Structure 1
């Protein structure tokens, strides 16, 4: 599974509708509505959570994964030490990162790519990425 910054993961693109995703991945293992009434699909074996935004006509706007097969810049990320991954990101001009800590889990956030890395015991345990906004606009830059 390859992360394509600002686009999505593999052939899952920000802006897809539920039926587009089902054509690619099949029906989710489970689904629910979050506190904002967004629809969330869970694919357990893929360790993938997809969020369709209610306010955007249920377009795919957010992805979360802890799949050990996820890659960025040809490097596997889950389970890797943050100190191994950060230089790869920096080399590819993915910076700066804001840092936050919650109950021992450190989160690194890169706003230009709407990319989060969650690190526990210095090991990346989860990655989140979201649709980005168009430059100088409040509209999402949908890729589908």
Structure 2
């Protein structure tokens, strides 16, 4: 019974994962530390270091990979996500045609994208919001969002701000 209740609570956390431009995804805010994240989502399924010694948390059920920057006191600075529950401005984006996603985002002011091609993948990067839509076969398969760098060339950490 205890497991079922905990799983139900965890499962509700997975639905409607709202992308908050310039801030993070769902309850994740840029600038959080590892313990802030584990307090919300529990221990990650994988915890490792990348080639730059940044700490990476991977959550299988959330389909998210979180990067904590070693040079920024291990603050959360980058999120890669592929959950079909991801929502931007109330609409899902994963597994949708990139042309449809761009059409839906245009009235919200998201129109400027730099396009890069890699084999069968294409990235659509919006610098103002530091987001990437990664597509394969014209469908969005992955979403990336990074902490914004301000006018002083410093990260604009959102966690702990009033």
TM-score bracket, shorter-length normalisation: over 0.9
2:131 paired with 1:125: no
Larger Cα-atom Rg: 2
Taking the TM superposition and a 5 Å limit, the aligned residue runs for 1:77-116 are: 77-116=93-132
Q: Give 5+ residue unaligned stretches, structure 2.
A: 1-16
Q: Give 5+ residue unaligned stretches, structure 1.
A: none
Please list every run of at least 4 consecutive aligned residues from structure 1 whose deviation after the TM superposition is greater than 2 angstroms. none
RMSD between aligned residues: 0.6
Q: Find the counterpart in structure 2 of residue 36 from structure 1.
A: 52
Question: Aligned partners of 1:104, 1:79: CA distance in 2, in Å?
Answer: 15
2:80 paired with 1:64: yes
Under a length normalisation based on structure 1, what TM-score does the superposition of the two structures give? 0.98
Under a length normalisation based on structure 2, what TM-score does the superposition of the two structures give? 0.87
- For residues 66-105 of structure 1, give each alpha carbon's deviation from its aligned partner in whole angstroms, at most 9, with x where no partner exists: 1000000100010001111001221111131000000120
Bigger helix share? 2
